[in-house]
Homo-oligomer: A and B are copies of this chain.
């Protein structure tokens, strides 16, 4: 998974959950994240494509939630930002002439799938509504 995308997405969705009737600008979101608008927009486009948010272009535009907070699960966000397995393989292709080298990545791939699934199960049990209760 890419380093911090999950945190960034949860942060964005939390801001929207707190002001469901406002169109939040990328500038505003960036200031809460202490980041910059272009990077936020990139992340917004991922969330939008998945239907979690909707955006409005032009003056007074911005983004807001596309679903009720109780209908957004933390696992939805996880699946969006996860790219390959959560755990990473070794940087180089192992030596195929070695008995272990030839097969380990297959075995790890299987294990990593199970790990991803454990995380998914956990996150599926938590909605954005429940999560944001912690600070609203």
Contacts and interface: CB of A to CB of B under 8 A. Distances in A.
Interface of A: 1, 3-4, 6-8, 10-11, 14-15, 18, 31-35, 74, 86-95, 98-104, 106-108, 110-111, 114-115, 118-119, 121-123, 126, 131, 134-136
B11 A111 contact: no
Nearest to A6: B87
CB-based closest 4 A-B pairs: A103-B135, A34-B92, A107-B134, A32-B98
A135 B123 contact: no
A87 B135 CA distance: 20
A92 B74 CA distance: 22
Nearest to A11: B104
